[in-house]
Amino acid sequence: MKKILLIGTGGTIASEATDSGLAPALTTRELLGLVPVAAARCDITALQLFSLDSTNITPVHWQGIVRTIRENYGDYDGFVITHGTDTLAYTAAALSYMIQLSPKPVVLTGAQKPINFDSTDSKVNLTDAIDCAARGGPGVYIVFDHKMILGTRAKKTRSKSFSAFSSINFPELGVVRDGTIVRFITGDTAESPEFYEELDTRVSLLKLVPGMDRAALDFLFERNDAVVVESFGVGGVPEAGGFYDSIEEWKSRGKLAVLTTQVENEGSDLAVYRVGYRLKKDLGVLEAYDMTTEAVLAKLMWALGLSRDPAEVRRLFYTPVAMDMYPFG
């Protein structure tokens, strides 16, 4: 019988109604008691790491999850993390960089409705996640609404529906139906995983809107080591408003700029239009290509946690990890 560590972090799946709205209340052990069929399939240890609405999850909590998995890695065959859906894609991306090449499953799941509600997706998602941790294959991925989604490619695309998550610019890893797992894609693994805990959290995100000037970008550069700019379409910044000058000035002070797109699918291509071409050719900004914004932010935190040398950070950023980007070139 496979040994599974079930790690609880809170979220809707563990929430109950209060006078001021839903809030995490149930322990991981209580969640497990509500899915007895799944619990009987494996030898499961329940661990309550924290009990938070995922809006309150920070990189410090990512580090706590990674530390827990690293310390227990040799004792279990797989890991399930229950987590709120709102920042689940960020956590899945972060764990993908912090736990690389894992031969064991590290499965994240959650729910859109609490487990004690009459109409809930909690029990199905938790059961599927436990099955995948036991038999679903290696790597870091989300199991939700019968889908297996790579941690670096997941995004929450629906705020209320049970089909909350989509795989962006990459196929789903597999599907789960009534305990049957069909896996289509398996990534690279090693005999043992590579664990990383150091992160540089001084990374921020600016979403461009028409008419914006450089003031917001300067504000973020002053307080961070890197800024990700979510630009329009395939990528670029307005020629008015001082954006080019801002990026050039802050680059000279050792700050990094990354360009991505607000469009969910198909990625960026800065070479297409003049508004993007100069950024790449003359200013040397990093380009996200087909990566999700969640993955870009997490990868920058990981890369900057390893090195402050711009050339090395560039190399790390452009090296595919956990199938987070197609080789460019």
Tens of pLDDT, residues 63-76: 999 999 999 999 99
Q: What is the CATH number of domain 3-195?
A: 3.40.50.1170
Are the beta carbons of 116 and 4 closer than 8 angstroms? no
Are the beta carbons of 228 and 300 closer than 8 angstroms? yes
Residue in the block written with tokens 């499961």: 44
Domain extents for the chain? 3-195, 203-318
- This prediction has a pTM of 0.97
The tally of CA atoms less than 13 A away on the side-chain side of residue 142 is: 32
In CATH, the architecture of 203-318 is 3-Layer(aba) Sandwich (3.40)
Q: Indicate the helix (H) or strand (E) that contains 156.
A: strand 154-156
- The predicted model gives 110-127 an average pLDDT of 96
Are the beta carbons of 44 and 6 closer than 8 angstroms? yes
Give residue 317's identity as a one-letter amino acid code: F
Distance CA 278, CA 257 (A): 13
- Asked about 28 being catalytic, the answer comes back as no
Taking only the tens place, the pLDDT of each residue in 131-176 is: 999 999 999 999 999 999 999 999 999 999 999 999 999 999 999 9
Instruction: Count the neighbouring beta carbons within 10 Å of the beta carbon of residue 328.
Output: 11
Q: Which residues contact 78 (CB under 8 A, 6 or more apart)?
A: 2, 3, 4, 5, 104, 105, 106, 107, 132, 133, 134, 136
Taking only the tens place, the pLDDT of each residue in 186-238 is: 999 999 999 999 999 999 999 999 999 999 999 999 999 999 999 999 999 99
The confidence score (pLDDT) of residue 312 equals: 97
CA dihedral defined by 8, 9, 14, 20, rounded to 10 degrees?
Answer: 160
Distance CA 88, CA 100 (A): 18
Chain-centre distance of CA 310, in angstroms? 24
Please state, in angstroms and as integers, the Cα–Cα distance from residue 229 to each residue in 96, 177, 237, 318, following that order: 22, 39, 9, 17
Are the beta carbons of 42 and 134 closer than 8 angstroms? yes
Residue % of the chain over a pLDDT of 70 = 99
Instruction: Count the neighbouring beta carbons within 10 Å of the beta carbon of residue 27.
Output: 15
Q: Which of 66, 100, 71 is closest to 81 using CA atoms?
A: 66
* Order of strands, sheet of 43-52, starting from the edge strand that comes earlier in the sequence: 43-52, 3-10, 78-82, 105-109, 139-144, 147-150, 174-177, 180-183
* pLDDT band per the 50, 70, 90 thresholds, residue 38: confident
Query: Is 329's pLDDT higher than 80?
Result: no
Same fold, 3-195 and 203-318: yes
- The predicted model gives 236-246 an average pLDDT of 95
Q: Which of 315, 319, 244, 312 is closest to 277 using CA atoms?
A: 244
Distance CA 261, CA 202 (A): 21
The confidence score (pLDDT) of residue 185 equals: 95
| Mode of pairing for the β-strands spanning 174-177 and 15-18 | unpaired
Q: DSSP state, 85?
A: S
Catalytic residue (choose from 9, 12, 28, 85) = 12
- The predicted model gives 7-21 an average pLDDT of 96
Distance CA 21, CA 118 (A): 17
The whole-chain average pLDDT of the chain stands at: 96
